[in-house]
Amino acid sequence: MREGADRYGAGTSSVRFICGTFDVHRELEDRIADFLETEAAITFTSCWNANGGLFAPLLDEQDALISDELNHASIIDGIRLCKAQRHIYKHMDMDSLRDALENSQAARHRLVMTDGVFSMEGEIAPLPEIRELCDQYDAIMTVDDSHATGVLGDTGRGTPEHFGMHGEIDIITSTLGKALGGMAGGLVASSREVIEYLVQRSRTQLFTNAIPPHSAAGALAAIDHLEAHPELVTRLRENTAYFREKLTALGYSPIEGDTPIVPVIVGETADAIALSTKLLDEGVFVIGFGFPVVPHGSARIRAQISAAHTREHLDRALGALDRVGRELGIL
Ligand SMILES: Cc1ncc(COP(=O)(O)O)c(C=O)c1O
């Protein structure tokens, strides 16, 4: 990042198509396409903007956009900016998706959109089943892999790698603001045609400054680092399995899953906030979520496990969860 700032300065002072495209943007986009095993990629200043600028250029009134009901807010707003007919299917429910595909057969094109990993539950979307339905009903399959890029799969290539589905997802969106360095930036990776079309037509990229070059340089370094150190992904998986197992042994019931997002439902918002406040007093930073971020009655704390955690860190957190859970009568 520092080298990027020294070489290119603080920012582009321009949108991409005027004079805001630097070598580092092109290098990053090539690198992302390589990493995600697609033909091409385009970057945005955030994944919010990637999802916001994806649908409207590709689809219009004659088309159908089919979306999981728990998709991320940026997808919901991206859909609002697009004139396609809207179909919302029940969360990860393949019968409901099939109905939506069936009901949209009159549309010119159908695009199915899902989070790869749902951020509040940590669940992994059933990509093989979605792919099968998309093939059966001639639909474009699109995955927001923000919570999986750099996290899932043996080398951190996300949900497609997790399921052994390299190259089988038509369009991938993701963020550079989580596992790939935690700075800022978003991306769409797809076929060359889709990406060239977005370069020409995606308004959330066309009419705003590019990612600051130091962030682009940082994201490039993050991908290099991840490729050179797949053991980070292994450690993350081991840490997650350890934390989930010990948490369950204490008497908590985390939502089951394999991702480093470990939510524990406690019910009322006040209980979730009390638990997270007391954990913070013990030096453990686990945020509580209540309505409207999650439905009424399903307030939760959400632990996020990292490859940087040592066993000592995890044991200390588990010790605090044990003490505080008893104190509050949650255990
Ligand atoms: C699934 C998902 N998509 C998109 C975003 C937005 O990413 P960014 O922070 O890059 O705008 C997030 C961020 O929380 C997310 O969880």
What are the sequence ranges of the domains in the chain? 2-228, 231-327
Q: The sheet that has 261-267: what strands, in order across it?
A: 261-267, 299-304, 287-289
Query: Ligand 1: which of 175, 183, 188 to mutate, most ligand atoms within 8 Å of CB?
Result: 175
Please state which CATH class domain 2-228 belongs to.
Answer: alpha beta
Calculate the alpha carbon distances from 189 to 102, 204, 250 in Å: 27, 16, 42
Q: Which long-range contacts link 320-325 to residues 24+ away (Cβ below 8 Å)?
A: 320/279, 320/282, 320/283, 320/284, 321/247, 321/250, 321/252, 321/279, 321/284, 322/250, 323/282, 324/275, 324/278, 324/279, 324/282, 325/250, 325/251, 325/252, 325/275
CB-ligand 1 contact for 173 (6 Å cutoff): no
Q: Where are the alpha helices (DSSP H) in 186-261?
A: 192-201, 203-206, 213-228, 231-250
List the structure tokens of 276: 């997270």
Q: Ligand 1: which atom is nearest the Cα of residue 72? A: 1
pTM over 0.85: yes
Instruction: Tell me what pLDDT residue 2 has.
Output: 95
CA of 49 to the centre of ligand 1 (A): 9
pLDDT tens, position by position, for the chain (331 residues)? 999 999 999 999 999 999 999 999 999 999 999 999 999 999 999 999 999 999 999 999 999 999 999 999 999 999 999 999 999 999 999 999 999 999 999 999 999 999 999 988 899 999 999 999 999 999 999 999 999 999 999 999 999 999 999 899 999 999 999 999 888 999 999 999 999 999 999 999 999 999 999 999 999 999 999 999 999 999 999 999 999 999 999 999 899 998 999 999 888 999 999 999 999 999 999 999 888 888 888 899 999 999 999 999 999 999 999 999 999 998 8
Q: Which fold has domain 231-327?
A: Aspartate Aminotransferase, domain 1 (3.90.1150)
pLDDT given at position 292: 87
The Å distance, Cα 250 to ligand 1 centre, comes to 32
Let me know: does 147 contact 305? Beta carbons within 8 Å: no
